[in-house]
Amino acid sequence: MTRPAPTSSATLSTGPSIHFKGSFTFSTGPLFEDVSLRLGGGEWNCLLGPSGVGKSTILRLILGLQTDGHFDGEITADDGAALTNRVSYMAQSDLLLPWLNVLENTCLGARLRGQTPDTERAHSLLHRVGLGAHLDKRPASLSGGMRQRAALARTLVEDRDIVLLDEPFSALDAGTRADMQELAAKALWGKTVLLVTHDPAEAARLAHQIILLSSGGATTWPTPASPPIRDIHAPDTISCQAALLDHLRAGTAITNQTPQEGAR
Amino acid sequence: MKRLDALWALLAGIAAWQALVMITGAPHFILPSPLRVASTAIKSYEIILSNAWVTALEVVLGLVLGTALGVATAIHLTTSALARRIMLPMLVFTQAVPVFALAPILTLWFGYGIGSKVIMAVLIIYFPVTSAFHDGLSRTPPALLDLAKTMGATPRQSLWRLRIPHALPSLGTGLRLAAVYAPIGAVIGEWVGASKGLGYLMLLANGRAKIDLMFAALITLAIMTVALHWAIGKLAARLDAYAQG
């Protein structure tokens, strides 16, 4: 059975398409050359590939963060506006501040910028992610899943058009991970999402577009016909996941990474 | 339980001291008994307290000023690459100079009053506070700083709202060291040249063969140092608890 996609009432905004094209070079040599990819606007785009191939570097470049090498290329949005202050980020680690409670952590962006936090909105989003009863708790007293939900609420409060997720569910147990995938997919519906992941099941379930990155460049991988969020038991989800895993295993087996690349 | 242990250790120490006096039969002008020292402390409490107050003032002022200078330097080192290039090697170099050797010069420059002792205490705690706090500020997780940047925070906003709270336990470590070093700095300064303070009183009592008074002053200094260490330890524990949630 295919799960229905969230209705348009859940849509907060529609993100733009993003075009990424360019090469990246470390002082020791190129990380990737002439990689071209397009992130579908308002869609979940899952980026997979072996470790050290440059997935996190692409994510950092879109975020506008410092990298250790030189990027020669361009990153543009199809609406013509600059990406600055339009991208939010959620990492594998929840990055919650231990000295702030859940509500204060959720309003971190405003606190950092010296703005008055919109606590009403933060309240509402924390209820939406199931943390309504834990607003005053410190991160140390929360489970891993609850901490990631707080991190998700913090991402949602920023209300950016583009959301970059760097393996945000990889440290969670299988059940919590599945719950978080559904929660994030619903909460971020309508935004342009780039999810860096190593999990073919996650990509098969959530992606509108699957992008495979290898030393040869970026290619798209066919997604199941049914729309996300897909039923994990659906045959097309299972077959997509299995084929993707086979492909990644074959790619890993033939990839000769240098120690430096492997460390990134 | 810990307090009870400390009380037993104190009683055991006094008993050992008394036993040493009885076994060796040392005269009171070499090793006075605990009872004699206690009696002198009670009889001379006014002179001891008036000098203890001066030493306490030197230590507290030294701690406050040294900590403020250390914190300011650590923040400056964190925010300025130029400061790191120029000041860090200088700071390391200054550690090659024994601070105690500066005591006569400080007395010459700043006189016999509390000024030279406060500066001595400042100099002795400045490096541990600076070093510990700068180390903490430098160890903010890079992912956290990346997150702050994506949220539109400036480096200054990240410094005040992320880096400094994150580094508070390291500042606590520096303060714990400072609480041990500051009284040493003040007393060394008093030994070199002073007209007041417990260090001065100890030298004076020693010169007049009033060893029981010297011991009373020494024990007062020890009590003050333990109290300071306890208070700073409490403060550092609060900093730890705050930063760790």
pLDDT score for A120: 92
Task: Indicate whether B175 belongs to any domain.
Answer: yes
> Do residues A192 and A15 make contact, with C-beta atoms less than 8 angstroms apart?
yes
CA-nearest residue to A162 within chain B is: B150
Encoded tokens for A155: 């991402």
Three-state SS letters, A53-84? CCHHHHHHHHHCCCCCCEEEEEEEECCCCCCC
Contact B143 A91 (CB under 8 A): yes
CA-nearest residue to A61 within chain B is: B150
| Full domain range(s) for residue B170 | 45-80+92-244
Distance from CA of B1 to the nearest CA of A (A): 28
Task: Indicate whether A135 belongs to any domain.
Answer: no
Encoded tokens for B123: 């100099």
Q: What is the pLDDT along chain A (264 residues), one digit of tens a residue?
A: 344 444 433 444 588 999 999 999 998 989 999 999 999 999 999 999 988 899 999 999 999 999 989 999 999 999 988 888 899 999 889 999 999 999 999 999 999 999 999 999 999 999 988 899 999 999 999 998 899 999 999 998 998 999 999 999 888 888 888 888 888 898 899 999 999 999 999 999 999 999 999 888 899 999 999 999 899 899 999 999 999 999 988 876 544 444 344 333
Task: Indicate whether B58 belongs to any domain.
Answer: yes
b/e sequence A122-138, b meaning 16+ C-beta within 10 Å: bbebbebbebeebbebb
pLDDT score for A257: 41
Radius of gyration of chain A (CA): 18
Encoded tokens for B6: 């400390």
CATH code, domain carrying A197: 3.40.50.300
pLDDT score for A25: 93
B residues 150..189 contacting A (CB < 8 A): 150-153, 157-158, 161-162, 165
| Chain A residues whose beta carbon lies within 8 Å of the beta carbon of residue B148 | 112
Q: Among all chains, which residue has been given the structure tokens 């700043």? A: B110
- B245 in contact with A, Cβ within 8 Å: yes
User: Helices B164-192 and B211-244, interaxial angle, to 10°?
Assistant: 170
The 10 Å Cβ neighbour count of residue B146 is: 18
Task: Indicate whether A112 belongs to any domain.
Answer: no
- A18-26/A29-39 β-pairing: antiparallel
CATH code, domain carrying B178: 1.10.3720.10
Contact B149 A140 (CB under 8 A): no
Burial of B1 (0-12, 13-18, 19+ CB in 10 A): exposed
pLDDT in tens, B141-164: 999 999 999 999 999 999 999 999
The domain tally of chain A equals: 1
Q: Half-sphere exposure of residue B141, counting CA atoms within 13 Å on the CB side?
A: 11
Beta-bridge partner residues of A103: none
pLDDT band for B227, please (50, 70, 90 cuts).
Answer: very high
| Minimal Cβ distance to A112: which of B153, B242, B243 | B153
Task: Provide ipTM, 2 decimals.
Answer: 0.83
How far is Cα B191 from Cα A44, in angstroms, rounded to an integer? 73
> Do residues A120 and B186 make contact, with C-beta atoms less than 8 angstroms apart?
no
pLDDT score for B82: 93
pLDDT score for A174: 86
The domain tally of chain B equals: 1
Q: Among all chains, which residue has been given the structure tokens 């992610």? A: A129
Task: Indicate whether A149 belongs to any domain.
Answer: no
Which alpha helices (DSSP H) does chain A contain, by range?
55-63, 102-106, 108-113, 119-128, 144-158, 174-187, 200-206, 235-254, 259-263
Compute the average pLDDT of residues B109-138: 94
pLDDT score for A262: 35
Nearest residue to B214 (alpha-carbon basis) of B192, B191, B230: B191
CA-nearest residue to A160 within chain B is: B151
H-helix or E-strand spanning residue B42:
helix B34-43
> Do residues A215 and A32 make contact, with C-beta atoms less than 8 angstroms apart?
yes
Q: Please, what is the average pLDDT of chain B? A: 92
Contact A113 B157 (CB under 8 A): yes
Task: Indicate whether A262 belongs to any domain.
Answer: yes
| Full domain range(s) for residue A242 | 13-61+180-264
Local structure of residue A202 (DSSP, 8 states): H
| Minimal Cβ distance to A114: which of B148, B157, B242 | B157
| Cα-Cα end-to-end distance for chain B | 26
Compute the average pLDDT of residues B110-131: 93
- B148 in contact with A, Cβ within 8 Å: yes
| Chain B residues whose beta carbon lies within 8 Å of the beta carbon of residue A65 | 146, 149-150
Residue type, A78: D
Beta-bridge partner residues of A161: none
Task: Indicate whether A195 belongs to any domain.
Answer: yes
Beta-bridge partner residues of A72: A23
